[in-house]
Structure 1
C-alpha cells in the first residue's frame, strides 16, 4: 500500500507541461494559414460567397421594407375606394348619384373625391392617328380635390384649378403622357379627346394608390359633362377615413353608398396591394436565403477538405511538436483554431461584400440603406461555428498521430 502511495506522489510531483494561452493558440493556428495564402484565399472564398449572399438578401429585404414603410407612411393606409360591382345577372352596376354625399356624411370619413369614366371617348395626340390606336387611354371627369384624396403629385406643369377646370384643359397620367409622346408641356401641347382638342396643363407622377389614373386623361367634371357628354355618375369614389376606423368603414360604406343594393358595391383598400407585395417579397427572399445557406454549406465542406489536406502535408510538423512536448490537446487546438480562423476570415469578407452589394442595390433603386446589425454579427458567428464543425475531424486526426510515425513520414 505504501509503495502505491509513493508512486502516486512521485507521479504528481513531476512537473506538468505548460498549457498554451489563447493568444498562443491563435498565433500557432494562424501560422499555418500564413504559410499557404493561395489555398487560404480559395477556401475562404467559398465561405465568403455564402455569407455575402445571405447578408445581401437580408440587407436588400430590410432596405425594401424600409422603403415600403416610407411609402405607406407617405400614402397612408386609410384610403378606401368605392366602385360599382356587378348586378345579380352579372351585368355592370352603377353607383347612385347621391353615393358620394352619403359616404361623405359618415362620421368616420374625413374627405372624399370622385371621378367619372367617360365611356366611348378615346384620346389621341391628333386627328391623324388611326382610330384603332387609342392606347387604351380613358377620359375622366374629376373633382379639383382629387390629388389630396389619392395623394398624387404633379411631375410637370400644374393641376387643374378654378380657371382651367371650366375650359378644355387636361392633366395626363404618367403612362398616358408616355403613350401620347408628351415629353414636355408648352402652350401648343394639345391632345384630342373625343372631337375636341384639349390643352395639356400637367402630367402626374405615378399614382400608387389609384393606378387606373396612370393611363388617364383627367379633365374638370363640368367640362366633361358639357363637352364630352359625361352624365355626372361616379365610377369611383375615393374616401379618406379615420385610420382607427378603416375596417368598420369597409364593412359599412357599401350600405351607405347604395342602401337598396349594397351587394352591387365593391369596396377595397388600395394599400392592401402594397402589403401583399411585401409578403411576396418575403417569400422570395426566403428562397434566396436558402440558396445562400447551401453556398455556405459548400464553403464549409471546402474548409474541411483544406484542413484534411493540411494535416496530411504537415505530419512532420505535427511529429516535431509532439516530440518537443506538445500534447494532443495542443495539436488538436492548433488545427481547430486554424479552421475557425479560416472560416472567420471568409465570414468577415463575406459580410463586407454583402454590405457593399446591399448599399449599391439600395442606392440604385433609390431606397434607404438598411442592414440590421445582427445580420453581420450572426454571419460571423455562423462562420466560426461552421469552421469548428468542419475542422473537428481533421483536428482529432492530427492529434491522434504518434510522434515517431509522424516524424518518419515527414
Structure 2
C-alpha cells in the first residue's frame, strides 16, 4: 500500500512539474472521451425522441377479436378486458363492440354518404390503451358514457362534415334511432384505422339507448414491448380457453420492427466511433510518455543509483500515464456531458446519456493510460543507472 501511495505521489509530481505537456497530453484523451460521450449521448437522445414518436403510433399495441371460419365476428366474454389485464406484461387493456347500427348526420341524410362509418361501444380507458389523443373536445368519461354522447374518429368526422366541437353549440348526429351529442373528435390514428372511421358511444349509453348486450367484439391492449410476442401467444387462450382458435390476434406493427432496427444500427455506430476515439487518445499519451522517458534519463539514473528497483521505476511511469489519462478522461467526460445535453435541449429531444457510456469512458481512459504507458515504463526500467547518468 505504501509503495502504491509513493508511486501516486511521484506520478503526480511528474504531471505537475510539466503542466504544459500534461495539458496537451491529457487533451488528446479528453477529446477522445468527450467524443465517446457525444457520439453516444447525442444519438441516444435522438433515438429516445424517435422511440417516443414510434411508441405514440402504437408499437406496443395488440388487437384481439373473435371470428369463426366464415369470418363472422364472434362475441368475446363480457369481462374480456379484465381477463387480459391479468396477463403480467400487459399495462393497459380496453374493449369495444360493434353496435351494427346506422350513423347519419341528420335524419334527412343519404345513408350512402356515411356507409363507411361504424358505431362502436367504448369505455373511457380506450384512449390510453391505443395511445390516442383528441383534436377537439373531450373524450368519454365515467359520467358521460351513461349519456347520449359520442366521440368521432378523425375520418368519420370529415365524412360527417364536423371539423371541431364547441361545447356551447355541440353538433348532434343520429346513431340508430336516437340522437347523440358530439363531445369530441379524435386526432389521426394511422395504426388503428377502424377507430378513425368510427363513432364511439359510451358503454352504458349503448346498453340503454341502442340495446347493446355487453359482449365486446375487439380488445385492445398495451404491453411491455420486449414481451409483446409472448403476450400475443397466450392471448387467445386467455380470452377463450375452450376454443382459442376462434380468437385472432394482430401482429406487432411494422413500426416496432423499424424501432428495433434503429436500435441495432445505433449500437453498432456507438462501438465503432468509441473505439476510434479511444485509440486516438491512447496514441497521444504513449507519445508523451516516450518523450518523457528520453528527457528524464538523469532522474531515472539517480533513482536507480539510490536503490530504486526496476519495478519501482515501471510503477512510477505507469502511474503517471494513468493519471494523465484519468485527468483527460474526467475533463472529456464533463465536456461531453455538457455538449450532448445542451444539443438535446436545443433540438427539443429528451436529454439522455447512457450510464454505461459514462462508466466505459472513465474505465476506458484508465485502460488506455495503462496500455499507452506500459512500453515507456518498461523502457525506463531497463535503463541501467550508469547508462542513464552517462547519457546526460
User: What TM-score do you get using the length of structure 2 for normalisation?
Assistant: 0.59
Aligned-residue CA RMSD (Å): 5.9
C-alpha deviation, 1:80, in angstroms = 5.9
* Counterpart among 1, 8, 11 of residue 26 in structure 1: 11
Q: 1:49 to 1:19 in 2, by over 3 A?
A: closer
The answer on whether the counterparts of 2:172 and 2:182 sit within 8 Å (CA) in structure 1 is: yes
Question: Unpaired runs of 5+ in structure 2?
Answer: 86-92, 106-112, 175-179, 207-213
Q: For 2:125, what is the secondary structure of its paired residue?
A: helix
C-alpha deviation, 1:53, in angstroms = 4.7
Q: 1:168 to 1:321 in 2, by over 3 A?
A: closer
C-alpha deviation, 1:268, in angstroms = 4.3
Q: 1:220 to 1:19 in 2, by over 3 A?
A: closer
Q: For 2:72, what is the secondary structure of its paired residue?
A: coil
Deviations 1:266-287 (A, max 9, x none): 22486x9898778556534531
Work out the CA distance in 2 between the residues paired with 1:181 and 1:409. Answer: 93
Matched, 1:290 2:255: no
Work out the CA distance in 2 between the residues paired with 1:199 and 1:169. Answer: 6
* Counterpart among 137, 148, 152 of residue 157 in structure 1: 137
Alignment of 1:350-365 (within 5 A): 350-356=332-338, 359=341, 364-365=348-349
**Count of matched residue positions in the alignment of Structure 1 and Structure 2:** 343
The answer on whether the counterparts of 1:48 and 1:350 sit within 8 Å (CA) in structure 2 is: yes
C-alpha deviation, 1:95, in angstroms = 1.0
Partner of 1:307: 289
Matched, 1:108 2:83: yes
Work out the CA distance in 2 between the residues paired with 1:276 and 1:86. Answer: 29
* Counterpart among 361, 364, 368 of residue 379 in structure 1: 361
Partner of 1:35: 20
Partner of 1:128: none
Matched, 1:95 2:73: yes
Matched, 1:145 2:123: yes
User: What TM-score do you get using the length of structure 1 for normalisation?
Assistant: 0.57
- The range that moved more, 35-44 or 50-59, is 50-59
Partner of 1:134: none
Q: 1:269 to 1:253 in 2, by over 3 A?
A: farther
The answer on whether the counterparts of 2:117 and 2:198 sit within 8 Å (CA) in structure 1 is: yes
Alignment of 1:167-178 (within 5 A): 170-173=151-154
Partner of 2:378: 396
Matched, 1:266 2:270: no
The answer on whether the counterparts of 2:32 and 2:278 sit within 8 Å (CA) in structure 1 is: yes
Deviations 1:34-90 (A, max 9, x none): 1325522542234323542576389769x959x98xx99xx9x8x8632367968xx
Q: 1:366 to 1:235 in 2, by over 3 A?
A: farther
C-alpha deviation, 1:347, in angstroms = 1.9
- The range that moved more, 168-177 or 376-385, is 168-177
Q: 1:163 to 1:149 in 2, by over 3 A?
A: closer
Q: 1:361 to 1:403 in 2, by over 3 A?
A: same
Matched, 1:349 2:324: no
Larger Rg: 1
Q: For 1:143, what is the secondary structure of its paired residue?
A: strand
Q: For 1:36, what is the secondary structure of its paired residue?
A: helix
Q: For 2:248, what is the secondary structure of its paired residue?
A: strand
Partner of 2:108: none
C-alpha deviation, 1:329, in angstroms = 4.5
